[in-house]
């Protein structure tokens, strides 16, 4: 019985860390996790390493790791269920799309909320085959970090993953 309770404690700690990381990412406004920069990747690796001991403690056995992973899988499944079933929960966890450009004009609040620079918006618009912001009818930062660009009276729509600008070239 003592063994089972220690595994339940590990699963509980893992779930607590899982929820904390989701809340922290949401509060700090990270939207484009699919497009990690080097700094973001190092950050996530360090975070995962720093919370590992909080999840499993001194129990470095395979069964302790399985208990932690099982707790995370169960929590993730429950989160996905609620994300699909509740618009309010989905909005709290995922956020909302952000309109950045309407009718070829930058919306300053949208630019600020998206945490994108004007240069990044211009680059995203060009990546969609649109000459410039003035030719874009609508530019939206979607909840998953993708940028959607509609142009030519909404007849030409493209969606591409937003890429972080490269700071250096590796020939």
Q: Which of 11-15, 124-128, 136-140, 162-166 has the highest mean pLDDT?
A: 136-140
Residues 13 and 90 grouped into a single domain: yes
Say which residues have a Cβ less than 8 Å from residue 118's Cβ, sequence separation at least 6. Answer: 106, 111
Q: Which tops the pLDDT comparison, 95 or 171? A: 95
The model's pLDDT over 81-105, given as tens digits with 9 standing for 90+, comes to 888 898 888 888 777 889 999 999 9
- Give the residue from 75, 94, 113 where a domain finishes: 94
Residue 113 lies in a domain: yes
User: Looking at the chain, how many residues does it have?
Assistant: 171
Residues 79 and 110 grouped into a single domain: no
For 114, the domain range is 98-161
Residues 6 and 90 grouped into a single domain: yes
Total of domains in the chain: 2
Q: Which residues pair with 99 in a beta bridge?
A: 140
- Residue 116 DSSP symbol: -
- pLDDT of 101: 94
The model's pLDDT over 37-62, given as tens digits with 9 standing for 90+, comes to 667 677 777 787 778 777 887 877 88
Pair type for strands 146-151 and 136-141? antiparallel
Hey, is 107 helix, strand or coil? coil
The model's pLDDT over 20-35, given as tens digits with 9 standing for 90+, comes to 888 877 776 655 555 5
What's the mean pLDDT in 155-161?
55
Q: Give CA–CA dist 169/19, Å, rounded.
A: 37
Q: Which residues pair with 159 in a beta bridge?
A: 148
Q: Is 114 exposed, middle or buried (0-12, 13-18, 19+ CB in 10 A)?
A: buried
Q: Estimate to the nearest angstrom the gap between the alpha carbon of 132 and the chain centroid.
A: 27
User: Which of 71-85, 92-106, 128-142, 145-159 shows the lowest mean pLDDT across its residues?
Assistant: 145-159
Residues 15 and 78 grouped into a single domain: yes
Residue 153 lies in a domain: yes
pTM score? 0.59
């Amino acid at each position: 019985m003592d063994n089972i309770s220690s595994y339940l404690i590990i699963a509980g700690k893992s779930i607590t860390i899982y929820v904390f990381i989701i809340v922290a990412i949401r509060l700090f406004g990270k939207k484009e996790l699919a497009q990690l920069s080097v700094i973001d990747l190092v950050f996530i690796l360090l975070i995962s390493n720093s919370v590992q001991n909080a999840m499993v403690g001194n129990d470095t056995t395979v069964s302790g790791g399985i208990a932690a992973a099982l707790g995370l899988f169960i929590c993730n499944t429950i989160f996905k269920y609620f994300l699909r079933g509740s618009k309010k929960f989905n909005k709290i966890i995922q956020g909302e799309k952000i309109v950045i450009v309407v009718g070829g004009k930058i919306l300053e609040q949208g630019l600020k909320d998206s945490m994108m620079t004007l240069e990044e918006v211009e680059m995203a618009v060009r990546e969609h085959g649109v000459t410039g912001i003035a030719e874009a009818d609508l530019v939206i930062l979607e909840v998953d970090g993708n940028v959607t660009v509609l142009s030519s009276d909404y007849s030409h729509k493209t969606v591409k993953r937003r890429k972080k600008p490269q700071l250096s070239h590796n020939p």
